[in-house]
Chains A and B, each alone.
Chain A
Amino acid sequence: MTFLRDALLVAGKDLRIERRSRVALQQIVPFGGIVVMLFAFALDSDRTLLRQAAPGLFWAAVLLAVLLAVGRSFSIEEANRARDGLRLSGLDGGSIFLGKAAAVAVELFLLEVIVGAAVVVLYDVSIRGVVVLLCAAVAATLGLAATGTVYGVLAGGLRARETLVPLLVLPAVMPVMLGATRSFQAALDGTPGDAWPWVQLLIAFAVLAVTAGTVAFGPLLEEA
């Protein structure tokens, strides 16, 4: 199907740019790490408190990193009027959306692994319920990447884009924050069964976000 092939083409393009420029690896991942430390200072490096709050703090750091990742995903389209180039390519808006969202998702997974390791080490967390953790993380990441990409194109080219996107994205992804945090909490507490309703919520959110993006991206890419 050309639709998926085109999406892969766009995703490949974005990931290749990342491999060359290494912005996610050298800037966004460290940002995630710094935020993790920030929280430790905020909570007075209280061991017990940090361990208890770890799921929430981890996902808060990820949510903030998403904003940077999405910002980057669209700033590469600003130079040289590449955005017009995308429009002229005749690629279907839905394909471009899936491609860009997929690239952001891949970068996010990478970030989650590294920042997750930092959380485990710095907050003294023991990993349990790996299956639940993975399922929740995958669904949450897809939802975040999709939502971020929609708002990224929606605010693309507007004045004050950098401050507008965070304000638009964060209230919209609260369900992901709740679902991911509760799932992780349940897994780490040793009661993974409690996580499943939350994982379902995350999956539903991801499906909605991807659908909305596939439909809305094309029209939003146009100038008026």
Chain B
Amino acid sequence: MKRLFLATTVVALGVTAVFALWVTPPRAEQGFDAVRLLYLHVPTAWIAYLAFGITALASLLWLVPRTRDTAWDLLAGASAEVGVVFTALTLLLGSLWGRPAWGTWWEWDARLTTTAILFFLYLGYLALRRTGATSDERGKRSAIAALIAFADVPVNYLSVTWWQTLHQQGTVFNKNLNVQIDGSMAFTLILAVVAFTLLYGYLVLERFQLAQLEEGREARELELAIAERLRTEHSEVVPA
């Protein structure tokens, strides 16, 4: 089942690569091939935020007593680990693309800046996950941290937007919801998003299963310890 998933992902990525590199034309006004980076940058940005959303959702499900399950905590962690990588990629690609487009390696525009803050929120969250003693304690603290950070992102975005606007306003959609870039580019972009989402899903699945194995090993060790305790020293009761 997982292999099918992996295969689909690889195929989707392959097709995307073909479209991105050969089928679509280079952007006329910006007149260079670097626009093809868009096919990477937009999907990675989408994944960066999607992953964070999944982390927040999984955290919420963990916090609610009725749906509490260690699996949600592990999923939150797995999604964050994949997400932080994609966030770093987004920033890197944004910078690489921006250089020819803006003339600088960095611009303090709303979206890129918010993504940079998101990157640090991720790092804090992941650092927090590494200090918890028991899985319950870790689960609770990181879940609350994730939700606070999740609520913080729109506030950050709002404030940064008021502060700066330079990023290409809605390359795909403008206010009237018309697609601004032409047919084959739009198609490739959507294809890329789908392919990358599949990639994200596969990576999270792998990481999640790994985390489950780790948890399982700890649980077994715990059971052994309990059995030890109950068995030994049973005859140790010495009347004073």
Chain A residues at the B interface, C-beta cutoff of 8 Å: 150-151, 154-155, 158-160, 164, 167-168, 170-172, 174-175, 178-179, 182, 197-198, 201, 204-205, 208, 212, 216, 219-220, 223-224
Residues in B whose Cβ lies below 8 Å from that of A160: 127, 131
Inter-chain contact B128/A212, CB cutoff 8 Å: no
Q: Say yes or no: A201-B128 contact (C-beta < 8 A), given A170-B120, A171-B121.
A: no
> A155 to B144, alpha carbons, bound, how many Å?
11
C-alpha spacing A9/B31, complex, angstroms: 67
Does B171 interact with chain A (Cβ within 8 Å)? no
3 A-B pairs with least C-beta separation: A171-B120, A175-B159, A158-B131
B residues within 8 Å of A by Cβ?
A: 117, 120-121, 123-124, 127-128, 131-132, 134, 136-137, 140-141, 144-145, 148-149, 151-152, 155-156, 158-160, 162-163
Count of A-B residue pairs with CB < 8 Å: 77
Please report the C-alpha to C-alpha distance between residue A223 and residue B152 in the assembled complex, in whole angstroms.
Answer: 26
Residue of A nearest to B155 (CB): A175
* A164 x B120 contact (CB < 8 A): no
CA distance A198 to B70 in the complex (A): 41
Q: Provided the pairs A175-B156, A179-B159, A224-B140 are in contact, do residues A164 and B148 lie with their beta carbons within 8 angstroms?
A: no
Residue picked from A154, A179, A182, most chain B C-beta under 10 Å: A154
One of B128, B134, B149 near A224 (C-beta < 8 A): B134
B144 engages A219 (CB within 8 Å): yes
Residues of A within 8 A of B155 (CB): 175, 201, 204-205, 208
Please indicate the chain A residues that have their CB under 8 angstroms from the CB of B141 in the complex. Answer: 154-155, 158, 220
Residue of B nearest to A216 (CB): B144
On whether the beta carbons of A168 and B137 are closer than 8 Å, the reply is: no
Provide the bound-state CA to CA distance between A179 and B121, in Å.
19
Contacts of B123 in A (CB 8 A): 167
Q: How far is the CA of A198 from the CA of B161 in the complex (A)?
A: 12
Q: Are B159 and A168 in contact (CB under 8 A)?
A: no
User: What is the chain A residue whose CB lies nearest that of B118?
Assistant: A171
Would A197 and B140 be within 8 Å (CB), given that A170-B120, A172-B149 are in contact? no
Residues of B within 8 A of A164 (CB): 124, 127-128, 131
Q: Are A171 and B148 in contact (CB under 8 A)?
A: no
Residues of A near B145 (CB, < 8 A) are 151, 154, 168
Q: Are B160 and A178 in contact (CB under 8 A)?
A: yes
- Residues of chain B contacted by A172 (CB below 8 angstroms): 121, 148-149, 152
Cβ of B177 to closest chain A Cβ, rounded Å: 27
A158 to B145: give the CA distance in the assembly, Å. Answer: 14
Tell me, in angstroms, the Cα distance from A95 to B228 when the chains sit together. Answer: 43
